[in-house]
Structure 1
Amino acid sequence: MTSPALVLAAWLRAELPPAKAALLDDVDGLEPLLERHVASAREAWPELALDIPTFLRHMARHLPAENAPEVLRQLHASDLYLACACAAGEESALRGFERHVLRRIPERIHTLPRDVVDEALQQLREQLLLGRADTPARIASYSGRGPLLAWVTISAARLAAGLANREGHTPFSEKSPDTYVQLLTPGDPELELLRKDSRTIVADVLRKALAAMPGPERALLRLHHLHGYNMTQLATVFGDSRSGIARRVLLARGRLLKLTRAELASRLRLDDTQLESFLGLIRSRLDLSLSNLMI
């Protein structure tokens, strides 16, 4: 018989397949950890009527198989609690989401026209909060691994940028291969040394490298390089300090270069010296871009 002191852990384990439940054996103090998550959620949203078993069931659905203990320790529990209640259609949760999340979006993507931002927010409300007969509301896909505000801001920025593109800008995904190369190396005379087919390969390599990166890092680089966000703006979007976001951008940049190098090495017949020279064109422009954004 389960002890009352272990009721939260028992509920969570009951919602997990055996293999994933076994991973929780590595979590020291699982019950106190869950108690803190529940307490922080209820303290942040006392007006919500969401019951705890439903919350734990939702939490269980988002625990990955690879690193469930670490995800559980770092969980943004109060944000996940709000998202779960929104997915359930609880009116007080929807009001809280509007007041504490959506109303803060315009100040975080203020570089785009306000009418475009407003339209993006309206579309975002529909996408995130309105489910369909066979599909739950997309807010249910929020996993609690990062701040809910940052997760929503990234979605809003993408939507707004897409709307702005449709009003006269060419979507980046539809631009020529040269655009991908010149994004990182504009004005470099050495580009003329690259054959047309090599430029196409580089463009394809960059696409694949970006696609292989973790979502948050990919979002950082896209907002940074494609939408012109500086470090202060990125720090606001992701809820981090300016120095912290700068480190994250540098790490993301490093991962992009590493993935790009590996893919180029497999696609182009270059010796190490040629490969490093080729990569230098990309690396040097990334350094300059980062320096400009830090001003």
Structure 2
Amino acid sequence: MRDKTTPHDALDTTSEALLTRLHAEGRAAWPDLELARAEFVAHVDRHVARGSPELAELHAADFYLACACHVRLAGAPAAIQARYGADVEAVLRSRNVPPGHRDDLRQLMWEKLLVGRPGAPPKIGAYAGRGPLGGWLRVAAVRMALNFLEHARHDRLVPAPELDEARHPASPDPELAFLKSQYRGEVEQALRDALAGLATDERNVLRLYFLDRLSVDRIAAVYGIHRATAARWVMRGREALLRGTQALLERQLGVEPAEVESILGLVRSQLDVSISGLFRGSAPTSGTS
């Protein structure tokens, strides 16, 4: 009698076996967290397509822990804080967040990631298991530290000398180094493709501002427009480049929008340098290119 098993049936069988193995790996890594296989599989299906190569590359133990927290399994948030609390503290210290603000900032981060708020589920659910959970949390912590320092500058929550130290840390930042090592190639390519996809006028204004170093007033004179209009053109081009880069990264990396936003949040401070480098690395073009 002929075997009537279809390729689709074989794929389902292979995926089910792989999911069983991944769940078992996570359970072995976190024996005190009894996460049901059905909940684990449902969470995997939210992030990874059955039969895709990414399924076999899932960081099972990390994903299991994040899933346990996402479904509010007792003990999961405490397990994450116990495992990664020192890493988060190291990030805040490396970004020179003043000691008096670290506890509040750390508590706010855990609340957003692990507890959530009314109408806003825990952001840990966005972790897709494609990289180590520790790296994902470090990126989130760096982004929170940068946002805090930016608001502090405007609201004067922190004395100026401490902000200067935070802006120019004495030692290299290991978290930014981690980000660059993980995503540098993808971010550079996405920026390059997004720049190529801009309208000609937007590209030309950015070229004048970032490569030729023309001030907003000079750009206004070139185009015969008011300086406020020129400033809006520069800002509009910059934001269009960021939006295009984010959309490309979401497709290329296959990660959640929140994770991409974390990546972009960390490179924003160096975006102007990146744009200048993109123009320097491209062939000269005329004003109508």
Q: How do 1:47-86 and structure 2 match up within 5 A? A: 47-63=32-48, 69-86=52-69
- How far residue 190 of structure 1 moved from its aligned partner, in angstroms, is 7.2
Query: Post-superposition shift, 1:273?
Result: 1.6
TM-score, with structure 1 as normaliser: 0.56
1:88 maps to 71
- Output the CA distance in 2 between the equivalents of 1:167 and 1:69: 44
Answer yes or no: is 1:155 the counterpart of 2:140.
yes
Q: 1:246 maps to which residue?
A: none
Structure 2 residue 287 is the aligned partner of structure 1 residue 274: yes
- Mapped to 2, the partners of 1:135 and 1:111 lie a distance apart of 27
Q: Mark the CA change 1:141 to 1:222 in structure 2 (over 3 Å): closer, same or farther.
A: closer
Residue 103 of structure 2 is aligned to residue 118 of structure 1? yes
Between the aligned partners of 2:146 and 2:37, the Cα distance in structure 1 is 38
Match of 1:128 in 2: 113
Residues 189 and 161 of structure 1, relative CA distance in 2, 3 Å threshold: same
Distance of aligned partners of 1:193 and 1:211 in 2 relative to their CA distance in 1, 3 Å threshold: same
Give the direction of change, closer, same or farther, for the CA distance of 1:103–1:273 in structure 2 (3 Å limit): same
Deviation for aligned residue 1:49:
1.1
Look up the match of 2:160: none
Q: What is the CA RMSD across the aligned residues, in angstroms? A: 4.1
Q: Counterparts in 2 of 1:162-177, with a 5 A limit?
A: 162-169=147-154
Conserved 8 A contact 1:80-1:144 = yes
Quick one: which amino acid aligns to residue 66 of structure 2? Answer: A
CA pair 170-68 structure 1, distance change in 2 beyond 3 A: farther
8 Å CA contact 1:48, 1:92 repeated in 2: yes
Q: Which runs of 5+ in 2 are unaligned?
A: 1-7, 157-205, 221-226, 250-256
Write the deviation string for residues 206-228 of structure 1: whole angstroms up to 9, x where unpaired: 11221232255664454245179
Asked if the contact 2:216–2:230 (Cα under 8 Å) also holds between the matched residues in 1, the reply is: no
Tell me if the contact between 1:211 and 1:218 (Cα under 8 Å) persists in the aligned partners: no
1:184-215 CA deviation, whole Å, 9 max, x = no partner? 84993577642233442232121122123225
Shift of residue 98, structure 1, vs aligned partner: 0.5
CA distance in structure 1 between the partners assigned to 2:139 and 2:105 by the alignment: 12
Q: Deviations over 1:45-82 (max 9, x none)?
A: 12211121111122122336xx9713323322222211
Code of the aligned partner of 1:226: S
Q: 1:170 to 1:146 in 2, by over 3 A?
A: farther
> Greater shift after overlay, 54-63 or 147-156?
147-156
Equivalent in 215, 222, 226 of residue 269 of structure 2: 226
- C-alpha distance in structure 1 between counterparts of 2:287 and 2:102, whole Å: 45
1: CA distance between counterparts of 2:214 and 2:118?
56
* Distance in 2 of aligned mates of 1:188 and 1:170: 30
TM-score norm. by structure 2 comes to 0.57
Compute the displacement of 1:142 (Å): 2.4
Q: Give 1:188's aligned residue.
A: 213
Please tell me the residue identity of whatever aligns with 1:129: L
Post-superposition offset of 1:123:
0.4
Equivalent-residue separation in structure 1 for 2:41 and 2:135 (angstroms): 23
Measured in 1, the distance between the counterparts of 2:102 and 2:74 equals 24
**Residue-pair matches, total:** 208
Amino acid at match of 2:55: L
Q: Which amino acid aligns with 1:194?
A: I
Greater RCO between the two (CA within 8 Å, min separation 6)? Answer: 2
User: One-letter code of the match for 2:95?
Assistant: T
Which amino acid counterpart does residue 223 of structure 1 have in structure 2?
L
